[in-house]
Amino acid sequence: MGIFIALLVFSFLIFFHELGHFLAARYFGVHVEVFSIGFGKRVLTKKFGATQWSLSLIPLGGYVRMKGQDDANPELKSYDSDSYNSKTPFERIVISFAGPFANFLLAFILYLMVSIIGVPTPLANVGKLMDKSPALDAGIQLEDSITNIDGRPIKYWNEIGESLGQNDQEHQITILRDKQYIDLSITPKLLETHNVFGEDDKRYLLGISPNPNKIEHIPYNLEDGLRFAYEQTQYASLYIVKSLQKLLSGLIPLENLGGAVGIVNTTSKVSQMGWIALLMFTALISVNLGVINLLPIPALDGGHILFHLYELLTKKPANEEIMLKLTLLGWGILLSLMLLGLYNDINRLLG
């Protein structure tokens, strides 16, 4: 069931991405010949209107084939009024950008749904203690609840960091243990930790981590929900961009690169954690698809945007021979990354 849900989620993300291209193309009067979820041989096809809607054999992506536009052969052109090539460079940029934009929009909607259902928020309850940490020295124990810091009431985990700041100042805290309130003095210490990318970092910390079993789901009103959805979409986008930067610079090893199999496997596991976890992970993967497709690699939307931007600025189309060579190079890069991701995924599955 988990794998089925994962494939369903992955297919839905691809569908939403391609739907963005489809709607933008139809808005500008471009004839869409094929709308396919998956690559390779079509196993199921149904014609609605003038478009063939298909499910194809390899469910690792999808495509919208517009009249006069074919990534497999960029030399195939058509300048009929309803063709992709007859449109202005700006209109083609909008059509190319519409797919990634649809992924960002979907992520925003999913995060908004989470805010309405209830955002999972860790309570200020201790789930882990570091060795030789200020918390351990001060006498804090597992499952203690921090209720007050320097006179400020505390309920949620994020309020602890907000109250302490980043310094070695002594603080007065109150904890609740076995229905008894206990006052303690504690001074944060500069400790070695790891950031979200696994890199070494040093911060002033107490040496405690939240209890994963002490979570409260907080529903937001519409205004706060919209803000939460925007901030989460922005954070996820920056996280993916920084991950790519660190991957390209070698700060993150290539063996950390994952592929479609890894995404399906992880989605399957997350689906067993409940709907909210699945919605948030789906939103993250949607943002990932949006960012990846905006990379300036020919055969990706970002590559198309780059060619159209060149034409928009220079008032002349890019050289077709150069475009063909760059597109083939782009496909080579994508295929190499997909194979590397598949290799890494198999290695992780095999332990």
CA 135 – CA 133 distance, rounded (Å): 5
Closest by CA to 170, choosing from 129, 145, 139, 138, is 138
Residues 6+ apart with CB under 8 A from 319: none
CA 16 – CA 30 distance, rounded (Å): 19
Catalytic residues: 18
CA 299 – CA 336 distance, rounded (Å): 14
CA R_g for the chain? 25
Q: Residue 214 is which amino acid?
A: K
